Amino acid sequence: MNVAGVLLAAGGSTRFGQPKQLLEWNGVPMVAHVADGALEAGLSPVVAVLGHAAQEVQKALAGRPVRIATNWRWEEGLSTSIQAGLSVLPPETDAAVFLQCDQPLVTPDLLRRLVARFEETGAPIVCPAVQGQCTPPALFARSLFRELAGLTGDQGGRVLLLRYLDQVETVEVEDPDLLADLDTPEEYERLRKRYTPPSAAAVLASIHYLIVDMDGVLWRGDQPMPGLADFFATLRALGVRFVLATNNASKRPEEYREKLARFGVEVPLEAILTSAQATAEYLASFVPPGTPIYAIGGTGVRYALEEKGFVLTERDARYVVVGWDPDLHWQKMARAALLIQRGAGFIGTNPDITYPTPEGVVPGNGSNLAVLELTTGVKPVVIGKPEPGLFQAAIARMGATPEATAVLGDRLDTDILGGRRAGLRTILVLSGITSPEALARSPVRPDLVCASIRELAHLWVREVDRVDGDRQDLQDLQDLHDL
Ligand SMILES: [Mg+2]
């Protein structure tokens, strides 16, 4: 389903001495904070309707993938902003969530729950409710867009809410503050005091399972990161279970285990998960063994599919699985395209557009998927990061829950964005592809940022030690880190 976000940010409140949209929230202008939440929830596209102080507000959104709709008639009332927002939505939009820029405590998780309820029920309106009382932000299905566009003056979605009361689905919210809108400076100060992001200690204390990205985190090319063995010793001492998960589908898990062994770290084979394996597990969840599959990809892809009992064949395949393939040639692409056109399911192991080489980047699996999509008009189901499939497979393997699981990675656009979308905690290390400058510019916010796994291990031991000072095993580790 395509659910858009329409951020209504055109109003001109005079109570704050500056445009309300630009009040600081969690280090960024409030309008940017709310847009980030919508992006993180996966609403697409996110449209910001601007009016009052449009130029300044647009500047506050710079660098974010947000479409701007300017409402020149904003002074005529809310209905004009709703119209401006609707007018730029793409035709394939199934529903839109209308967000207010002065509800900064609405979480991406709540937005995802609204979308999930819509997908389950198909209700024309889904909104959050506190003790049964409906509150913005409300989701409206496409079937109501015409009526929304017909509102006048200061009428908002509430008119339709009353009209369709018996068809409204609600998502109950316990804490009314999460839906508070900041109408007065007093309310702004009160909520700002209440809302402080969780400390590093609180984040770390909540993590019992870790999904660890490898390149840029555990090693860089053929060089292990400093403190690699200590990092694993720390996880074991803390009782944190882990899966090492990679988008790279071309290698077999054994190859990663051997690489780690060369660096002095032993991990069981089950602790390694490639996007090829996650793809095979995904297929195995609804396709019986013996099903014919056409696979593009290296040994990693073939091994993972055969391990689940699928039969690899060129003829009459029911699914086409595409992973990065060093021996890719035109005939393979042609075969895949023909099978997809005949109705075979189309699955991509990972969406990486590029593949890094010492001489520069070359086409990655995402580029090959794009070629097949352009050829056939069929969109693939993609398993690797930032899609949720790989994370879900990792969580299932660990027997974990999303609330107790964190993603540790070096890429904002895959590890961190994907982790947040899957409802997981996220830890970024700056030892890989992301520079501090890129982090400062990005709308994607990890829960925790560390220079490296060495610093993370150190921090983790210190924070647990503070809470639970008499654990001798941790004391020993602390001494090790202090060396
Ligand atoms: Mg990486």
181-236 pLDDT, tens per residue? 888 898 898 888 777 777 788 889 899 999 999 999 999 989 999 999 999 999 99
**CATH 3.40.50.1000 residue spans of the chain:** 200-247+387-482, 276-382
d(CA 472, CA 185): 50
Expressed in angstroms and rounded, the spacing between residue 385 Cα and the centre of ligand 1 is: 11
**What six digits make up the tokens of 236?**
């074991």
Phi first, then psi, for residue 410 (nearest 5°) are: -110, 0
CB 377 within 8 A of CB 389: no
354-357 and 360-363 beta bridge pairing: antiparallel
Q: Which residue of the set 94, 109, 177, 215 is catalytic?
A: 215
Topology of the domain covering 276-382: Rossmann fold (3.40.50)
Q: Which CATH architecture has domain 200-247+387-482?
A: 3-Layer(aba) Sandwich (3.40)
pLDDT at 471 > cutoff 90: no
Ligand 1 centroid to residue 355 C-alpha, Å: 12
Residue 468 has pLDDT above 70, yes or no: no
- Orientation of helix 330-341 relative to helix 365-376, angle to 10°: 50
Q: What pLDDT shows up at residue 14?
A: 78
Ranges of CATH 3.90.550.10 domains, the chain: 3-194
**Active-site residue flag, 465:** no
According to CATH, the topology of domain 3-194 is Spore Coat Polysaccharide Biosynthesis Protein SpsA; Chain A (3.90.550)
The continuous run of DSSP H or E covering 361 comes out as strand 360-363
Cα–chain center distance at 422: 6
Tell me the C-alpha distance between 472 and 362, whole Å: 50
> Which position among 213, 230, 410, 415 bears the catalytic label?
213
Q: Which of 273, 248, 452 is nearest to 356 (CA)?
A: 248
Amino acid 102 reads D
Q: How far is the CA of 180 from the centre of ligand 1 (A)?
A: 38
**DSSP character at residue 215:** B
pLDDT above 70: percentage of residues in the chain: 96
- At 12, the pLDDT band (50, 70, 90 cuts) reads confident
pLDDT in tens, 132-182: 889 999 999 999 999 999 999 888 888 999 999 999 999 998 888 889 888
Indicate if the pLDDT at residue 437 is higher than 90: no
Residue pLDDT, tens place only, 358-373? 888 899 999 999 999 9
∠ CA 356-357-363, nearest 5°, is 55
Residue-level pLDDT at 473: 59
pLDDT digits (tens, 9 = 90+) for 30-88: 999 999 999 988 999 999 999 999 999 999 998 889 999 999 999 999 999 999 999 99
Question: Mean pLDDT across the chain, nearest whole number?
Answer: 92
How many residues would you count in the chain?
483
Distance 414 CA to ligand 1 centre (A): 9
- The question of whether 468 is a catalytic residue gets the answer no
In the predicted structure, residue 438 carries a pLDDT above the cut 90: no
The whole-number pLDDT of residue 462 equals 87
* Cα 215 to middle of ligand 1, angstroms: 4
CA of 432 to the centre of ligand 1 (A): 7
Q: Give the strands of the sheet with 345-348, arranged side by side.
A: 311-312, 292-296, 319-322, 345-348, 381-382
In this structure, what are the phi and psi dihedrals at residue 309, rounded to the nearest 5 degrees? 85, 10
8 A C-beta contact, residue 355 and residue 324: yes
Would residue 337 be called left, alpha or beta, if left means φ above 0 and alpha means ψ between -120 and 50 degrees? alpha
Phi, psi (5° rounding) for residue 195?
-95, 100
- CA 169 to ligand 1 center in whole angstroms: 40
pLDDT tens track for 276-302: 999 999 999 999 999 999 999 989 999
CA 270/CA 247 separation, integer angstroms: 16
Cα distances from 471 to residues 125, 238, 239, 260, 457, in angstroms, run 52, 10, 12, 28, 16
pLDDT at 477: 61
